[in-house]
């Protein structure tokens, strides 16, 4: 059997950890079994879909490298095909037109709720004879669900799951506006696209018996189902689209590596011994639904940060990181021509930052032509003191011939010793002046990277600025 899986998102928002984990598991299962993986956009609910979400889906899938094997399917482009199947189902009497008006249905539902009954369509139209008066009335099309018996399936993750048909409704497969509904389109597509394994979120378990009954009504074999446990947010609540921390594209913007994201996602529910770090190759080689747990996973963004840092420092080639850093500098509108080499930046910041954008933002001051002179007030030392440090720094740095961070450091130590100034204070002043921050990598390295010319030029400006403050 040629394995075929699909990822079938509805374009109603940005992809989050939950969706993308489903996509990854479906993709891995297909790859592991030398099968195919397809992407199907489930956009039948015209009112809720938007193009921005479609764009987001494609962007995320491409960024993560979750490539699909056939053309992308859009359900909205397949309406005529769905219509054909519905006509066939009407003919075979496994579906029927329901002429009940919306207000009647609403009232019946209200009454059922009042009576503490599960609201269900009462099947008024199930056996209606064709009536010429009805022809003019608007209608929906309902599936003729079996009234008795049960539906059973062996879920790859959760084992046998059974539903009584008496629990199920004659649900709508075509709306009043003529558009087909989700549960119907999924079946038609899974069948038409020869999907062998439906891997999706646990929230779809209750849809599965309905879908299986449609498969049976079409005399078709059902696919194998695997429902993935849900992902909870850091507060152990069901993840909601409102939580911006789960929006995958955010991590692209923040400079996370797709390899780290995939590694993080694969461990949300799947395990392979105690192994934590998986290359894509290893994931593809070892993935199996048998090792997907039943319990829900909890998001841990700290862990993701740790993994990303680990990938930046240990896994991804230097060459690739440098290229990516250049991209993120550009995105921040930082012109890297006017500052240190990116390689140097990487060396200096890689152990301090968890993402590429963090490296860029943390080092951006190295590319400023002029300093923000107000930085010099960031220490609580007096202006007079600061001025002295500037002056001696200017003269001492000026006489360094071979500009290197070790020479700079020696000078700083000497300055402190000769002038009886605390080393800590000198460092503080130079740090806030040149970085605008209270924390930074080694100050001698920073001064080295900024370069002698720029350092002296700016020190001179600082001296003039402070002198003016005294007047
Ligand atoms: N379109 C559905 C969703 O986004 C998924 C359907 C399925 O996987 O069967 O939740
Ligand atoms: Zn009806």
- Domain CATH for 373: 1.10.10.350
Contact 54, 14 (CB under 8 A): no
266 in the same domain as 157: no
Residue 430 and residue 389: Cα distance in Å, rounded?
Answer: 8
Three-state SS for 109? helix
Buried b (16+ CB within 10 A) or exposed e, 16-51: bbbbbbbbbbbbbbbbbbebbbbbbbbbbbeeebee
Residue 258 falls inside a structural domain:
yes
CA of 280 to the centre of ligand 1 (A): 25
Residue 377 and residue 85: Cα distance in Å, rounded?
Answer: 75
Residue 86 and residue 353: Cα distance in Å, rounded?
Answer: 56
Domain-ending residue, one of 117, 140, 174: 174
CB neighbour list of residue 113: distance below 8 Å, 6 or more residues apart: 119
167 in the same domain as 83: yes
Contact 23, 61 (CB under 8 A): yes
CB of 8 within 6 A of ligand 1: the answer is yes
Buried b (16+ CB within 10 A) or exposed e, 263-278: bbbbbbbbebeeeeeb
Q: Where are the beta strands (DSSP E) in 62-169?
A: 73-74, 95-98, 140-143, 150-155, 159-164
227 in the same domain as 101: no
C-alpha separations of 406 from 23, 400, 410 in Å: 51, 11, 6
Q: How many structural domains comprise the chain?
A: 3
Residue 2 and residue 445: Cα distance in Å, rounded?
Answer: 58
What's the confidence (pLDDT) of residue 240? 78
Give the nearest ligand 1 atom to 199 CA. 8
112 in the same domain as 129: yes
Could you give the angle at which helices 405-419 and 383-398 cross, rounded to 10 degrees? 130
What's the confidence (pLDDT) of residue 243? 80
209 in the same domain as 128: no
Contact 5, 11 (CB under 8 A): no
Query: Which ligand is closest in space to the CA of residue 139?
Result: 2
Q: Where are the beta strands (DSSP E) in 391-433?
A: none
Pocket probe for ligand 1: among 29, 192, 200, 228, the residue whose CB has the most ligand atoms within 8 Å is 200
CB of 42 within 6 A of ligand 1: the answer is yes
CA of 127 to the centre of ligand 2 (A): 10
Closest by CA position to 267, among listed 228, 297, 312: 297
Contact 143, 214 (CB under 8 A): yes
Contact 204, 232 (CB under 8 A): no
CB of 454 within 6 A of ligand 1: the answer is no
Domain-ending residue, one of 122, 149, 174: 174
Give the nearest ligand 1 atom to 7 CA. 8
Residue 26 falls inside a structural domain:
yes
Q: Which CATH number is 286's domain given?
A: 3.40.50.620
212 in the same domain as 124: no
What's the confidence (pLDDT) of residue 217? 98
Residue 349 falls inside a structural domain:
no
CA of 228 to the centre of ligand 1 (A): 12
150 in the same domain as 195: no
CB of 185 within 6 A of ligand 1: the answer is no
Query: Which ligand is closest in space to the CA of residue 193?
Result: 1
Instruction: List the pLDDT tens digit at each of the 471 positions of the chain.
Output: 899 999 999 999 999 999 999 999 999 999 999 999 999 999 988 888 899 999 999 999 999 999 999 999 999 999 999 999 999 999 999 999 999 999 999 999 999 999 999 899 999 999 988 766 677 789 999 999 999 999 999 999 999 999 999 999 999 999 999 999 999 999 999 999 999 999 999 999 999 999 999 999 999 999 999 999 999 988 898 887 778 888 999 999 999 999 999 999 999 999 999 999 999 999 999 999 999 999 999 999 999 999 999 999 999 999 999 999 999 999 999 999 989 999 999 999 999 999 999 999 999 999 988 888 888 888 888 989 999 999 999 999 999 999 999 999 999 999 999 999 999 999 999 999 999 999 999 999 999 999 999 999 999 999 999 888 776
Give the nearest ligand 1 atom to 203 CA. 10
Structure tokens at 241: 């689209």
CB neighbour list of residue 77: distance below 8 Å, 6 or more residues apart: none
Residue 432 falls inside a structural domain:
yes
CB of 66 within 6 A of ligand 1: the answer is no
Three-state SS for 424? helix
Residue 267 falls inside a structural domain:
yes
CA of 115 to the centre of ligand 2 (A): 21
How many CA within 13 A on the CB side of residue 382?
A: 4
Residue 119 and residue 169: Cα distance in Å, rounded?
Answer: 9
Residue 223 and residue 198: Cα distance in Å, rounded?
Answer: 7
Contact 413, 316 (CB under 8 A): no
Near ion ligand 2, which residues have CB within 5 Å?
Answer: 98, 100, 124-125
What's the confidence (pLDDT) of residue 1? 83
206 in the same domain as 128: no
372 in the same domain as 304: no
Residues in the chain: 471
Residue 363 falls inside a structural domain:
no
Q: Residue with the nearest Cα to atom 2 of ligand 1?
A: 9
185 in the same domain as 53: yes
Domain-ending residue, one of 124, 158, 174: 174
Residue 211: which domain range? 1-70+181-316
What's the confidence (pLDDT) of residue 132? 66
Residue with tokens 């010793």: 417
170 in the same domain as 187: no
Q: Which CATH number is 107's domain given?
A: 3.90.800.10
Torsion of CA 315, 320, 321, 322, to 10 degrees: 150
96 in the same domain as 17: no
Give the nearest ligand 1 atom to 22 CA. 8
CA of 41 to the centre of ligand 1 (A): 9
Pairing of the two strands 36-41 and 73-74:
parallel
Three-state SS for 77? helix
Residue 337 falls inside a structural domain:
no
CA of 192 to the centre of ligand 2 (A): 29
CB neighbour list of residue 253: distance below 8 Å, 6 or more residues apart: 357
Residue 336 falls inside a structural domain:
no
Residue 21 and residue 66: Cα distance in Å, rounded?
Answer: 11
CA of 13 to the centre of ligand 1 (A): 13
Torsion of CA 135, 141, 143, 147, to 10 degrees: -50
CA of 9 to the centre of ligand 1 (A): 5
């Amino acid at each position: 059997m040629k394995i075929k899986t699909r990822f079938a998102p509805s374009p109603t928002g940005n992809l989050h950890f939950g969706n993308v984990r489903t996509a990854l598991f479906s993709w891995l299962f297909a790859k592991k079994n030398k099968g195919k993986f397809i992407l199907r956009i489930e956009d039948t609910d015209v009112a809720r879909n938007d193009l921005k979400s479609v764009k987001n889906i494609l962007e995320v899938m491409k960024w993560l490298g979750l490539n699909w094997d056939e053309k992308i399917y859009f359900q909205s482009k397949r309406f005529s095909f769905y219509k054909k199947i519905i006509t066939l189902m009407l003919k075979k009497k496994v579906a029927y037109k329901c002429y009940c008006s919306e207000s009647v249905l609403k009232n019946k539902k209200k009454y059922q709720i009042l009576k503490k009954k599960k609201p269900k369509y009462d099947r008024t139209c199930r056996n209606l004879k064709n009536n010429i008066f009805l022809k003019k009335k608007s209608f929906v099309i309902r599936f003729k669900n079996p009234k008795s018996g049960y539906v059973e399936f062996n879920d790859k993750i959760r084992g046998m799951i059974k539903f009584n048909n008496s629990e199920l409704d004659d649900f709508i497969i075509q709306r009043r506006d003529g558009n087909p509904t989700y549960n119907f389109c999924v079946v038609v597509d899974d069948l038409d696209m020869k999907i062998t394994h439906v891997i999706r979120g646990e929230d779809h378990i209750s849809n599965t018996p309905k879908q299986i009954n449609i498969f049976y009504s079409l005399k078709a074999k059902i696919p194998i189902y695997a429902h993935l446990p849900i992902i909870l947010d850091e507060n152990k609540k069901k993840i909601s689209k409102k939580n911006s921390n789960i929006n995958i594209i955010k991590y692209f913007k923040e400079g996370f590596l797709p390899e780290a994201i995939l590694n993080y996602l694969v461990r949300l529910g799947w395990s392979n011994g105690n192994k934590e770090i998986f290359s894509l190759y290893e994931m593809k080689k070892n993935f199996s639904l048998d090792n997907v747990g039943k319990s829900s996973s909890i998001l841990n963004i700290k862990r993701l940060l740790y993994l990303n840092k680990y990938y930046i420092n240990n896994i991804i080639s230097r060459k690739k990181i440098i290229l990516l850093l250049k991209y993120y500098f550009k995105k921040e509108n930082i012109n890297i021509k006017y500052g240190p080499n990116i390689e140097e930046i990487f060396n200096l910041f890689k152990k301090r930052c968890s993402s590429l954008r963090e490296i860029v933002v943390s080092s951006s001051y190295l590319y400023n032509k002029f300093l923000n002179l107000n930085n010099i007030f960031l220490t609580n030392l007096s202006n007079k003191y600061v001025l002295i440090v500037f002056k001696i720094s200017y003269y001492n740095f000026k006489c360094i011939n071979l500009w290197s961070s070790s020479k700079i450091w020696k000078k700083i130590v000497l300055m402190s010793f000769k002038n009886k100034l605390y080393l800590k204070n000198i460092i503080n002043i130079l740090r806030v002046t040149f970085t605008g921050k209270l924390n930074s990598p080694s100050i001698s390295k920073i001064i080295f990277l900024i370069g002698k010319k720029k350092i002296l030029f700016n020190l001179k400006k600082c001296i003039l600025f402070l002198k003016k403050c005294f007047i």
